[in-house]
Amino acid sequence: MFSKKLDNLKTYEAGKPIELVVREFGIEPKDIIKLASNENPYGCSKKVQEEVKKIIPQMSVYPDDSMYELKEGLAKKFEIESKNIIIGAGSDQVLEFAIHAIEPKKVLMSKTTFAMYEIYSKQVGAEIIKTPSHEHNLDEFRQYKDEVDIIFICVPNNPLGECLDWSDVKEFIDEVSKETLIIIDGAYQEYASFKDTNKKIPIKELLNYPNVLYTGTFSKAYGLGGMRIGYGIANEYIIQNLYKLRPPFNITTLSLKAGIEALKDEEFVNNSIKQNFIEMQRYVEFCQKKNLKYIPSYTNFITIFVNNSTEIADNLLKIGIIIRDLAGYGISAIRITIGQPSQNTKVLLALDKLI
């Protein structure tokens, strides 16, 4: 009854929710530290919360399906036009639109990168080519670039945290056939461009390419993971085609409001980012002290290589600390979202005992 394409497709495994740890280990929700999904540990802007509360009575009304105000806000931020933007229920949905719109035969991605690229591609029966290196290596991408219909570049990369320079990405894009769609996933761009301007993707410039789609999200730096708001930016021709796959009212009235207001409170985002890198330094120093290999990170998480990642992740879970075990990717490493100062203190103390 079901499509053969689904046969070798694994369902996406999200970071463990707080509720699960409450049920399994009987730990109070307030004592659980969730650092597994790269959410903003400082929550979201208070102004956003106030504005969203005000429109709760409007829940019965469909949202503005043109998403005029949110697109205008994004257009202003990136100095582009609304016609270059599509809104998705998370940037995930934009990735889904793009992959389903192309129906690629073959796609190319880094060995260890965002799991949904593979899942959406397999939904349409595509063959997946992964580069030999875990981290992005553009020379390896060059070897396969002419065989594929979509190339995924995650800058910075999740779950590893490394980030290519824009100048290198640009050089690569210029070499790729215009018949191949290049998806530049900037889910953590706010963090990367703060840490190092060489990593900043000049989004406006991407509109000059007939075959480049940029995706961004409100789920990470903006602290709105629960609202499911993301966006795609590209030339009008790409956006028009993605629109053909969009279900009506694909984000909620409350989400729309949250996104609009979040763009007005850049101070919250900037403070979160600054604090993130101050706190990340504590993990870096811990790794140096313990002689652990880690990947210098341009995101809000850090990936640390350890001997027995599954055991460490399991032991942390028992005391209410949720992190990501990367054993499933074939590497013995843990990925920890950088939390609030007090959370990081507890995590580092626990890690110190376990390692």
Ligand X SMILES: *Cc1c(COP(=O)(O)O)cnc(C)c1O
Contact (CB, 8 A) for 273 and 194: yes
One residue of 84, 121, 180, 219 binding ligand X per CB under 6 A: 219
- From 8-16, 41-49, 89-97, 245-253, give the range in contact with ligand X by CB under 6 A: 89-97
92 binds ligand X (CB under 6 A): yes
Judged by CB, which is closer to ligand X: 48, or 350?
A: 48
Task: Give CB contacts under 8 A, 24+ apart, made by 306-312.
Answer: 306/332, 306/333, 306/334, 306/355, 307/332, 308/332, 309/333, 309/334, 312/351, 312/354, 312/355
Give Cβ neighbours of residue 181 (< 8 Å, ≥ 6 apart). Answer: 98, 102, 104, 149, 150, 151, 211, 212, 213, 238
Closest contact distance (angstroms) between CB of 71 and ligand X is 16
185 binds ligand X (CB under 6 A): yes
Judged by CB, which is closer to ligand X: 27, or 187?
A: 187
CA distance 74 to 299: 21
- The DSSP annotation for 123-139 comes to HTTPEEEE-SSSS--HH
- From 12-20, 59-67, 192-200, 213-221, give the range in contact with ligand X by CB under 6 A: 213-221
Which residues on neighbouring strands pair with residue 333, listed in sequence order? 305
Nearest residue to ligand X on Cβ basis: 90
Cα-trace Rg, the chain: 20
Query: What x/- string results for residues 34 through 63 when contact with ligand X is judged by CB under 6 A?
Result: ----x-------------------------
85 binds ligand X (CB under 6 A): no
Judged by CB, which is closer to ligand X: 156, or 320?
A: 156
92 alpha-carbon distance from chain centroid: 8
- From 2-10, 87-95, 128-136, 237-245, give the range in contact with ligand X by CB under 6 A: 87-95
Judged by CB, which is closer to ligand X: 40, or 344?
A: 40
- Residue from 126, 181, 175, 128 nearest 153 by CA: 181
- AA letter at 275: Q
217 binds ligand X (CB under 6 A): yes
Query: What x/- string results for residues 134 through 163 when contact with ligand X is judged by CB under 6 A?
Result: --------------------x---x-----
187 alpha-carbon distance from chain centroid: 4
114 binds ligand X (CB under 6 A): yes
Judged by CB, which is closer to ligand X: 114, or 286?
A: 114
187 binds ligand X (CB under 6 A): yes
One residue of 41, 230, 320, 339 binding ligand X per CB under 6 A: 230
Closest contact distance (angstroms) between CB of 118 and ligand X is 12
One residue of 17, 43, 225, 328 binding ligand X per CB under 6 A: 225
Cβ count near 130 (within 10 Å): 17
Whose structure tokens read 């070798």? 8
Angle between helices 91-102 and 236-243 (to 10 degrees): 90
Judged by CB under 6 A, the number of residues near ligand X is 14
Judged by CB, which is closer to ligand X: 199, or 220?
A: 220
Closest contact distance (angstroms) between CB of 185 and ligand X is 5
Run of H or E including 187: none
For 271, the 3-state DSSP assignment is: helix
Q: Site residues (CB under 6 A) for ligand X?
A: 38, 90-92, 114, 154, 158, 185, 187, 217, 219-220, 225, 230
